[in-house]
Amino acid sequence: MTRYLRAIFILWVILRYGLDELVLSGFRLRGLARVVTFGRRLEAPRGQRLRQALEHLGPIFVKFGQVLSTRRDLLPQDIADELAMLQDRVPPFPSAVAVATIERAFRRPLADIFVTFEQEPVASASIAQVHFATARLRNGELRDVAVKVLRPGMLAVIEKDLDLMRMMAGWVERASADARRLKPREVVAEFDKYLHDELDLVREAANAAQLRRNMEGLHLVMIPEMHWDFIHPEVMVMERMTGVPISQVDRLVAAGVDLRQLARDGVTIFFTQVFRDGFFHADMHPGNIQVSLAPGTLGRYISLDFGIVGTLTEHDKEYLAQNFTAFFRRDYKRVAELHIESGWVPPGTRVDELEGAVRTVCEPYFDRPLREISLGMVLMRLFQTSRRFNVEIQPQLVLLQKTLLNIEGLGRQLDPELDLWSTAKPFLERWMLDQVGPHKLWEEIRDQGPRYAKIMPELPRLLHGFLQNNQAASNRDMRELLQEQRRTNRLLQGLVYGGLGFALGLIVMQLVVQVRFY
């Protein structure tokens, strides 16, 4: 019943904000749109109505709007501008509620925790909002900090939407075999996991700390330090970062930031996190990405909001890297072979047919600037191809695909001439060399050194025991073989002696008959 009530509420919001009219107008059915909206006053602009509807529907729908907002190449300007407000300008909840949450979390009055606390939030999104403050650390040092506070009641709202999504996924799976190939239930389960992770700010702080360690030597991105004395599942206190939102391109240019280099650095950061670390920021919309204008770090990325991160196993990384490398070399046969070897397509699939299909999709996009390429269109054509060859969707890679779309959207804003392929190719080739070269061998030896050092003194004893066991096993096998041979010999002897006796009997009988005859 709860699912159906939620579905009715969603339908009511759609009608209230005239989203049905928006869809029909998008399909150029304006006459029908006027009919279905008769009697409703839809005076607000379409982009504003869409944004307000998503805000009204809750955090899952807001996140959907955030993803859409990064794809200005796919949306009209007015809608893209409105959806961009969902990145960090969702209507905030009352500051008194934020203060009460902080005091309940740390069991102290606000004044005992912060020297100053700005009541007006500096940013407000679907899951939490952020206030600036000054904190007194354990050693007495004063630090400028950002305080992230979870919105109240988020778990109940998210559970309702996820329950509805599970029901719809079940409908989709029962619809057809082709729909089951998409694994809708597994995809929803992945989404469920990431959303629940985002509701735990301790987990987010741990994600941030891991990314900060991973990125230390790259000098391309800054990640705030977590103040662990003030971390709670509902409250997170971190280093205050000062930068300009990456979407404010005019301010970046005026400050002297090289946008082309910024775009290339973004690609490098993404591929480093994915292929070197297997641990990547998976919510890279412009509201979570800023650029430093400080003299010592001018043009360096600032990453925020680490509630959603993606992880890849060593198998996933190697498979993806080989696919990308083969793709960049235009080795479509290898791409087809990798899909078959991984089990993503049925084993009886013909390599030459899959190779030709991949070539048809990808070849037109090489050596072209990003402004002439729609990764969304490429993915759509690949999806059509995958349906033909029964390619199974991999739920663990859904976040990676979403992040790729975000990266492309950011790249378009910074440098439409960016050649995504040529920028990524050298990095992937270096990574593949590191995986099989002497450096990787030395790392393996270094990592396994303590284990080998422990085993080495035991090797003589282990070898002696192994040889003894083998010798005992060999002796046992030899005894069994000899026994079997003896049994076989006795059987053969019986057969020979029996045959001789039978032949001798025949000869004797023949002699007796002859004597009587004569």
- C-alpha–C-alpha distance, residues 124 and 146, integer Å: 12
146 closest CA partner among 104, 98, 194, 84: 98
**418 to each of 212, 221, 302, 330, how far by Cα in Å?**
27, 20, 21, 19
Indicate if 331 belongs to the active site. no
- C-alpha–C-alpha distance, residues 175 and 64, integer Å: 24
Q: Do 90 and 428 meet the contact criterion of CB atoms below 8 Å apart?
A: no
Q: Please report where in the chains the tokens 């859904």 appear, as a residue.
A: 398
Backbone angles phi, psi at 463, to 5 degrees: -65, -40
**Of the residues 73, 161, 283, 316, which is catalytic?**
283
Residues 6+ apart with CB under 8 A from 63: 126
Q: What is the DSSP string of 455-479?
A: HGGGHHHHHHHHHHHHHHHHHHHHH
Q: What is the DSSP string of 298-327?
A: TT-EEE---S-EEE--HHHHHHHHHHHHHH
301-303 and 221-222 strand pairing? parallel
Catalogue the active-site residues. Answer: 283
